[in-house]
Amino acid sequence: MTQLRVNPNRMELMKLRRRKQVAERGHKLLKDKLDELMKEFLARIGETRKLRSSVERELAAAYGLMAVSRGESGRVGLAQALAAGSPADLVSVTERNVMSVRIPEMVLGELGRLDDYSLASTPAVLDSALGALAQVAPRLVLLAQREKAIELLAVEIERTRRRVNALEHVLIPQLVETIRAIGMKLDEAERSNLTRLMKVKEMIAAQEAADEARS
């Protein structure tokens, strides 16, 4: 394991130990966050799958009616009928914070009149097709909201997982190894100093003994 490049002294050792404690606390917090994000993600996946299946069935039925309408009125006639009326902002979007993830919340507004086209030049099945689309529209917006939330949660899960792995497999092991190496160097330096002190003490004692002998 690669060690951090620091001066091997007691001040750096204290700093590294504090840094290791902070890293371990941060790792625990991020791991807990990752677990909660995964729970939220999996719960939303299950709900969204059911909603998507239901919306797809309703859309398939509405598109079937729309296909019949196009067959009866022609592509140009259908396009002219659908272009009637004036456009409006149908969906308003706000955000909600879910574990540091900005989740969108979409609200469908009023759809307005669905029969602004000429009833004389369009088939009756077009009314049924637009009615079916109007019925599924709120659930379609809800599906878009949920799928976007899942996408954002997935991005945050991956980002958090990378941070957890970086702490767990890179930074914390580096800190542990560096602390161990500095500790060994300091112990070795202390033993060397102790050995030198003992030798100096022996030399002083020998000198004193020699002085006493001469006197």
pLDDT at position 53 = 93
pLDDT at position 18 = 94
pLDDT at position 189 = 79
pLDDT at position 79 = 64
CA–CA distances in Å: residue 208 to residues 194, 200, 212: 21, 12, 6
Query: Where do the DSSP E strands lie in the chain?
Result: 91-98, 101-108
Angle at 106 between CA 103 and CA 107, to 5 degrees: 150
Q: Catalogue all structural domains in the chain, each as residue range(s) with its CATH number.
A: 10-211 (1.10.287.3240)
Mean pLDDT of each 10-residue bin along the chain, 215 residues long? 77 91 96 94 91 93 84 67 63 85 84 56 71 86 93 95 95 92 84 82 76 69
Distance of alpha carbon 210 from alpha carbon 215, whole angstroms: 9
pLDDT at position 143 = 94
Amino acid, single-letter form, for residue 149: A
pLDDT at position 134 = 82
Dihedral of alpha carbons 169, 172, 176, 181, sign: positive
Query: How many other C-beta atoms can be found within 10 angstroms of the C-beta atom of residue 5?
Result: 6
